[in-house]
Homo-oligomer: A and B are copies of this chain.
Amino acid sequence: MKILLVFAHPEPRSLNGALRNVAIQELEAQGHEVRVSDLYAERWKSEVDRADFPSLAPDARFVPVAASKKEFEANALTEDVRAEIEKLLWADALILQFPLWWFAMPAILKGWVDRVFAYGFAYGVGEHSDKRWGDRYGEGTLAGKRAMLIVTAGGWEEHYTARGVNGPIDDLLFPINHGILYYPGYEVLPSFVAYRVDRLDDAGFEATAERLRERMRTLATTPPIPYRQQNGGDYLIPSMQLRPGLNDPGAVGFMLHLDGTEVSAARETR
């Protein structure tokens, strides 16, 4: 496979840097081709602003969605953004690697999403009718490709469990996995998460690295998170609410959007 790894840590000599090297080495050993977007090294620009849309008149009111649509259609987005779009189209699988800062991506990676996921490319795709509400959530430009997160967290794993004070890690990552990756069509694999990374000794690092190698070996075969396709019949149109009766009665919140059988299974292992 062809794999794009987007890396968002400012220090190459960090645990994140070491895990990135582990991932790349294992992927290449498996015969995959890997490209890396190292956002800090490339001095990625994080803010969506007027400069992203060269054809916007200086005195025109700046409407980000409209500007994105117009510039993407004209293939006139800035060169850095077009290069990332090319890489996403090239890759069979996308890996986003980042430290969890304040329960979300670092700003530089959010800025990569905000700027690269253009209207007409990652959203605003497909027609609306009484049977379809655009190509999104399981359909779209990036359908048929796989994506996953590699995340490091300073906190304890227990604090991120079903009843942990931070909230369950799968729920904290849902806005990314479902809202950013599944939305434009990716099949999203369960995230790789390393905890208490500030306290990792050599044995801890080696165990983490081996766990990551195994995930890299199974990148093509790991079953994706069973999110429901928006246009597959499970949601009412246009309210886009889950049909009454769907999913097991105990499921609420984000977990509703997994197929019912799988929710029960996922719960047992949490």
Contacts and interface: CB of A to CB of B under 8 A. Distances in A.
Interface of A: 10-11, 13-14, 40, 44, 46-50, 61-65, 99, 101-108, 110-111, 113-114, 117, 137, 154, 156, 158-159, 161-168, 171-172, 174-176, 178-180, 183, 198, 230, 235, 238-242, 250-257
Contacts of A117: 102
Contacts of A99: 64
Contacts of A154: 65
8 contacts: A44-B47, A102-B175, A102-B183, A103-B180, A108-B111, A156-B239, A156-B240, A167-B174
Nearest to A52: B10
> How many copies of the polypeptide does the oligomer hold?
2
A46 B111 CA distance: 9
Given A47-B40, A171-B171, A253-B255, A11 B110 contact: no
Contact of A175 (B10, B11, B172): B172
A108 B11 CA distance: 21
Nearest to A108: B47
A44 B107 CA distance: 12
Contact of A106 (B48, B178, B230): B48
